[in-house]
Structure 1
Amino acid sequence: MSTGLVILIAVLALAIGLAGGFFLARSSMKNYLAKNPPISEEMMKSMMMSMGQKPSQKKLNQMMAQMKQQSANAQKK
């Protein structure tokens, strides 16, 4: 085999590995964030209390549902 062919194969393998790794990491991160949202109900409750609002459970549930809906819409795009 010529040296040029070996270098070409190595560069192609590197490019394919980088692209595959990127998309694999991206999909696994999306799945992780869908299952474990970065903001929990406790964090939302403390944030609302720091803004001077007294959060009810109904309001917390509505806000969490809105966040889930927005993340679902973002994944569809």
Structure 2
Amino acid sequence: MIILVGVLALVVGLVGGFFIARGTMKSYLAKNPPISEDMMKSMMMSMGQKPSQKKLNQMMAQMKNQTQKAQKK
């Protein structure tokens, strides 16, 4: 009986920990996107494009929309 309670507590802890960690990572990535404007600018410059602020804003807004759509699924 004691072993059964221990195994049950372990399973509940693992499942609960997984969902808590998943929610924490989602909120962290929503607040701190993995690609910043500076990174985008340097990437575009390395590809031979001269990025304007308007183009950077458009790309960042597009990335934000894609992450929001992915979160809704």
Q: Specify which of 43, 51, 54 is matched with residue 55 of structure 1.
A: 51
Match runs of 1:1-77 below 5 Å: 5-77=1-73
Q: What amino acid does structure 2 have at the position aligned with 1:51?
A: M
Q: Please provide the CA RMSD for this pair.
A: 0.3
Structure 2 regions of 5+ residues with no counterpart? none
The alignment-based identity, stated in percent, is 78
Q: What amino acid does structure 2 have at the position aligned with 1:64?
A: M
Count matched residues.
Answer: 73
TM-score norm. by structure 1 comes to 0.94
Rounded to whole Å, the distance in 1 between the matches of 2:8 and 2:66 is 38
Structure 1 regions of 5+ residues with no counterpart? none
Rounded to whole Å, the distance in 2 between the matches of 1:45 and 1:57 is 9
TM-score norm. by structure 2 comes to 0.99
